[in-house]
Amino acid sequence: MIEPTGVAADAATILFNLPDYHVISTTITAGRRQVIIETDQPPGCPSCGVIASRRKERRLQRLRDIPVAGPVDVLWSKYRWYSQEPACDRLSFFESTPQVPARARSTSRLRDQLVDAVILSGRAVSEAAAGFAVSWWMVRAAVTEACLLTLPDVDKLSPRMLGTDEHRFRSVRYFQDPGTKAWTRFEPWMTTIVDLGLFAVHGEMDSRMSVMPPSGRHFS
């Protein structure tokens, strides 16, 4: 059953509370809430910066977002706009916002909360993923991106207890030795170094662990 509740759109915008967006429709289907949102302001062209005023087509883009009083399916009614500046090389562009930059599939507020859960609160990646109903990979990507920006200078730290957390971060690969033609199985692992006193992530490194196939034979 689809039950339109569009009359409450302004209240929905206030409750949904995503900066630069308003809610244009809300529905409940079998207990599952869906919200369709639109941007508040016309965007500036990413090339020339001139504010656009003519819209082209739109498409609905699904966004992953924080749960708002429980899970919500969020669709962004996202427009392509014409660039107004005659001297600009770009004819048109899809709008983006600080909450959902170009090519993003999730809101910044979701990524921020995932990073806080893992780095500040010391929750396991799998636990944060389950809590926010997103994939392990998404939490991993958000934390990696944040770590690149916020990892502290390790020379200035004096942790009392160091811990490590290791996990596979890519699928298994096989490489062939050019000389012997033998295939070797590689498991890409990532090692995270954690201050056990603060539960803060101090560093990350890739480690490639070479593991023989279970049979002990090389593939050829």
Q: Could you give the CA distance from residue 88 to residue 50 in angstroms, rounded to a whole number?
A: 9
Q: Candidates 19-27, 88-96, 105-113, 170-178 — which segment interacts with Zn ion by CB under 5 A?
A: 88-96
* Binding-site member from 13, 26, 39, 83 for Zn ion (CB under 5 A): 83
Q: Could you give the CA distance from residue 190 to residue 166 in angstroms, rounded to a whole number?
A: 6
Q: Could you give the CA distance from residue 12 to residue 208 in angstroms, rounded to a whole number?
A: 48
> Does residue 85 belong to the site contacting Zn ion (CB under 5 A)?
yes
> Does residue 54 belong to the site contacting Zn ion (CB under 5 A)?
no
Which CB atom, from 51 or from 196, has the smaller least distance to Zn ion?
51
Q: Candidates 43-51, 101-109, 110-118, 127-135 — which segment interacts with Zn ion by CB under 5 A?
A: 43-51
> Does residue 47 belong to the site contacting Zn ion (CB under 5 A)?
yes
Q: Which two tokens stand for residue 145?
A: 């991106």
- Residue 94, SS3 per DSSP: strand
DSSP string, 151-182: ---GGG---SSEEEEEEE-S--EEEE-TTT--
We find the least distance from the C-beta atom of residue 98 to Zn ion, in angstroms, to be 19
Q: Which two tokens stand for residue 206?
A: 């890739």
> Does residue 150 belong to the site contacting Zn ion (CB under 5 A)?
no
Q: Candidates 3-11, 39-47, 123-131, 199-207 — which segment interacts with Zn ion by CB under 5 A?
A: 39-47
* Binding-site member from 9, 68, 75, 88 for Zn ion (CB under 5 A): 88
Cα-based angle 130, 133, 137 (whole degrees, multiple of 5)? 75
* Binding-site member from 18, 23, 37, 45 for Zn ion (CB under 5 A): 45
We find the least distance from the C-beta atom of residue 90 to Zn ion, in angstroms, to be 5
Which CB atom, from 19 or from 49, has the smaller least distance to Zn ion?
49
Conformational region of residue 161, where left means phi above 0, alpha means psi within -120 to 50, and beta covers everything else: beta
Which CB atom, from 45 or from 128, has the smaller least distance to Zn ion?
45
β strands within 46-172, DSSP E: 55-63, 72-82, 92-94, 162-168
Contacts with Zn ion, residue ranges (CB under 5 A): 45, 47-48, 83, 85, 88, 90
